Chains A and B, each alone.
Chain A
């Protein structure tokens, strides 16, 4: 079946891209061949004066290349070949003498934008769904269909670097300003304007494109200017992404070659870089994560086809503290639902509503939404000191003080006021959901939703069914979490759930290192060097010592000596330290900003730095504490499949994406090696490092968490 259909409007041939059997248009090899043939034919058709390319999909122009297809290529030369073929296709399009115009409505990404760049004129619709970008860097790649070469020539080196290095998408207005597109028009006249432009181009019209000014000329077109631009960009990449991701450096190299030695050399380098990057472990991990998150978007945590989600139009949030306000604001902002907040008195509710409004407001200050949209979202947020308005609530999320008695009391109140169909979720990080639900009148509608703080920024949500939770409750919670913009994993009702469970031994180990006198900055640095955004002690400062201690105690009580906490935390807690929230933790804070490691911690604990600090040993202890626990929890079924466990660590803890997640890391190391390391650590540091039985088993049988090859 053909991916393109051609219609005529006078002399203009309108080519509509509509990939059969897919919801979006993707560029595959077959698509490339087909469009090449089609344009060749139209070029020789004397009745055709010009060509317009558009999309037949609602709100998508072209979403990019088919990633599944190019993960099938096995070697770097094969991948370079794919890149080269695409480059040839693009060059042939731009070399046509008959004008080719693109009419862009909806997402125009990756290969889609590269195709648009190779056409002679670009018209895009002014619609919120119309966005343009080159996101390849997010998969550890670079734009391989000539984009690294054509984009800087179209919009200048600096703007091109900004788009390619971040992989971000921009809207039509910004694209017009950058000169990425020639015209921005309302959707209903998009095709008319594109056809009219095609007709004029066919009559020899030369569209005037304003220059980018003297400064841009000096920076892009002179060796000295380029030296300045690329040096600055390199420094920024070093600062922002560090040494673990090769793609940004290759982008800089390719673009520099292209601008100084010409496009022919640039294209050669682009194809080579594309092939080599595609073979890196980093790119493989990032592509696996892409597939995993895509799959999770369709996974409700129960076997497909069972369970009816309750449509959520009104959300109740009980407890208007930091968590409650975060949940409320994010729900109004992302899910667009009415939110009714409840707390003991109106003064607290007012503060909660105000804090929720601030989250919504942040979009206004960042110009993400109009004032009208802001007012609409803001009006979704209301509060009450009694339970008024809860009768019509579909889903209640309780985010009150983390104490079983309080939670049960709130649950009792909620059950009294809501309709029998309402689903009730408890936001807790430490209390088993079954305990909270034990005395409920309808335990089947009760479920756990563990949000991470700050809710508006943290991308993960753990949904925790207890034994009696209904399938409908699970599906409702998962789907609503997704509407809130979260990546949702369904985890077992076991102490610490998944994220805090694997975090526990890691944080404990950091504590033992503090006990031994290892300087704070060393402990945190070895982990940031390994790829974490922050080290374990800085993380504990953010979370708060009170919260950390509580979680530690729950895990200790549940799992015994293996999870016994370090001495340091209790001692620091006794000193009145809470972390960032009271400005006193492992670090000092000045006016809310982290200043530096707090030297008084060592004095307080009476520790002295050990004479020889072996950083690789420190790193090994921290990493393997987490990996071993992940294997243990996985084997207990805390998450259903390794994919969920890895995504949870990536999005919940900031586990380094290029390592793919703790279970993926174990596969990379190999269970045999992991067991050896753990046994060695157990000998010198204690039984807590005893390898998880499942790892020993895997080492014996030579099995892995994931099947070989790319997991989809």
Chain B
């Protein structure tokens, strides 16, 4: 039975993340559940929020460990919470963290919850490496065997090629095309030059470095105790290169098309480990508990395109819908956070948002808007900071909320492209 309470508004109260680190470095020996628990626990303490106030934990994870399929419940089982806090894990690909925030907002607005922790985590250092299907079948058969002789007979059928491990690829299950290949395809289709991509990458690094230096980013990070003795304090992201240059970026070789390609390791987001959590409440509860909300969730929208065409064009569809639901125009948005999967993708999205043809294709009276880079990704983006898939959306919500307050901007917009041709957009509203 729906319990709609009109007028209930979901607000973001606080957010915190772990440092983002290149896969296989700082978090090499860590699990996703450890990271998610660490940053959520620290968020509780920083928000001075007793765990028994929390109604639910919603987390995103794109590549979960088969051993911990529901990381959200592991987070909820922190001793800082009562054991009775439920949790679920969702997968909206790279928009998972943002989707967790949206789901939390929905639950709060529906009156089902007052306080929710939403977030996302990815530890690409700990992806499941699988056996071949045939080897798995033989093992299962062997486990059902009645005698030792039977079992040995079954195992004798194992061939060397069956033993080659299978690692999950970042490829579309529907088309077999890898994410990088899609970006490469879009660069060519939309005539995005190598130079333009490298310039965007440079901007991302420079802004991320500046925001780290001035403390805007470090304030969003729960330091991690690293090293075998856990005595190394890691409080910054390790992928940001403050000293990179166009020359250095230009030296990198294209990865997906060695001859005519333009997508390089320098202008794409790297494989990253990290977690991010966001604390959402109903506005009423936030005020009752003495919290000053950062922003309200004004609207969001999800869309999808044919993954076999231009895979990462989903945001072009999603953003106008989110704006329409918010009752706002592009011009009314003061700050933008655009997820940088690839510079080629960001620049393709930028082109399409401004294009009359795209407007016509989407049945819009006019193009969505022109990207103003002075108001977009002002603290850098996923190219520089890294992209732990499901954590990125939650990272963007926290960063944008805080920056909106700092710059005293009324509205902010988040745009995320995701695997499967999906796009995600969200509008936040300053409540201070």
Binding site for B on A (CB under 8 A): 313-314, 336, 338, 340, 346-347, 350-351, 353-354, 376-377, 379-380, 382, 384, 388-389, 391-392
Contacts and interface: CB of A to CB of B under 8 A. Distances in A.
A213 to B, nearest CB: 29
B37 A379 contact: yes
B233 A346 contact: yes
Interface stretch (B41-49, B123-131, B192-200): B41-49
B229 interface: yes
Contacts of B327: none
Given A350-B230, A350-B233, A388 B46 contact: yes
Interface in B52-101: 77-80
A384 B45 contact: yes
Nearest to B33: A375
B247 interface: no
Interface string B13-44: 00000000000000000000000010001101
A338 B80 contact: yes
Given A350-B225, A376-B79, A392-B48, A382 B230 contact: no
B45 A340 contact: yes
B50 interface: yes
A389 B43 CA distance: 9
A351 B231 contact: yes
A389 B46 contact: yes
B291 to A, nearest CB: 11
Nearest to A336: B79
A321 B45 CA distance: 22
14 contacts: A314-B50, A338-B79, A338-B80, A347-B233, A350-B230, A350-B231, A353-B230, A354-B225, A376-B77, A382-B45, A384-B45, A388-B45, A388-B48, A392-B50
B45 A379 contact: no
Interface string B225-253: 10001110101000000000000000000
A656 B41 CA distance: 46
Contacts of B223: 346
B42 A382 contact: yes
A394 to B, nearest CB: 10
A388 B42 CA distance: 9
B45 A380 contact: no
A380 B230 CA distance: 17
A391 B78 CA distance: 20
A174 B180 CA distance: 59
B186 to A, nearest CB: 43
Contacts of A351: 231
A338 B79 CA distance: 8
Q: 6 tightest CB-CB pairs across the interface, nearest first?
A: A389-B45, A391-B48, A350-B225, A388-B46, A346-B233, A380-B79
Interface of B, secondary structure class, is loop
A463 B42 CA distance: 32
Nearest to B83: A376
Contacts of B50: 313-314, 392
A389 B230 contact: no
A316 B79 CA distance: 16
A347 B48 contact: no
A388 B46 CA distance: 5
Contacts of B80: 338, 379-380
Contacts of B42: 382
Contacts of B44: 389
B236 to A, nearest CB: 13
B229 A354 contact: yes
Q: Most chain-B CB neighbours within 10 Å: which of A336, A347, A389?
A: A389
Given A336-B79, A340-B45, 7 more contacts: A346-B223, A350-B230, A354-B229, A376-B77, A380-B79, A382-B41, A384-B45
Contacts of A382: 41-42, 45
Given A379-B79, A380-B79, A353 B225 contact: yes
A340 B233 CA distance: 17
B16 to A, nearest CB: 10
Contacts of B235: 346
Nearest to A346: B233
A340 B229 CA distance: 20
A350 B80 CA distance: 19
A354 B46 contact: no
A353 B231 CA distance: 10
A81 B280 CA distance: 72
A391 B45 CA distance: 9
Contact of B230 (A354, A379, A391): A354
A313 B45 CA distance: 13
A384 B223 CA distance: 9
B73 to A, nearest CB: 14
Contacts of A340: 45
Contacts of A379: 37, 41, 78-80
Contacts of A392: 48-50
A336 B225 CA distance: 23
Interface string B205-233: 00000000000000000010100011101
B232 to A, nearest CB: 8
A351 B230 CA distance: 8
A376 B83 CA distance: 11
A354 B45 contact: no
A377 B80 CA distance: 10
A389 B80 CA distance: 12
A700 to B, nearest CB: 60
B310 to A, nearest CB: 45
B76 to A, nearest CB: 12
A380 B41 CA distance: 9
Contacts of B46: 388-389
A389 B48 contact: yes
Contacts of B77: 376
Interface in B139-187: none
A265 B83 CA distance: 57
Q: Most chain-A CB neighbours within 10 Å: which of B45, B50, B80?
A: B45
A581 B45 CA distance: 35
A710 to B, nearest CB: 43
A382 B42 CA distance: 8
A346 B19 CA distance: 15
Nearest to B44: A389
Contacts of A336: 79
A391 B230 CA distance: 27
Nearest to B42: A382
Nearest to B232: A350
B14 to A, nearest CB: 11
Q: Most chain-A CB neighbours within 10 Å: which of B37, B79, B229?
A: B79
Contacts of B225: 350, 353-354
A100 B231 CA distance: 60
Contacts of B229: 354
Contacts of B45: 340, 382, 384, 388-389
Contacts of A353: 225, 230
A380 B79 CA distance: 6
A377 B42 CA distance: 16
A338 B50 CA distance: 11
A314 B233 CA distance: 24
Contacts of B78: 379
Nearest to A388: B46
Contacts of A354: 225, 229-231
Interface string B264-297: 0000000000000000000000000000000000
Contacts of A384: 45
A376 B50 CA distance: 17
A347 B231 contact: yes
B29 to A, nearest CB: 15
B275 to A, nearest CB: 15
A65 B41 CA distance: 48
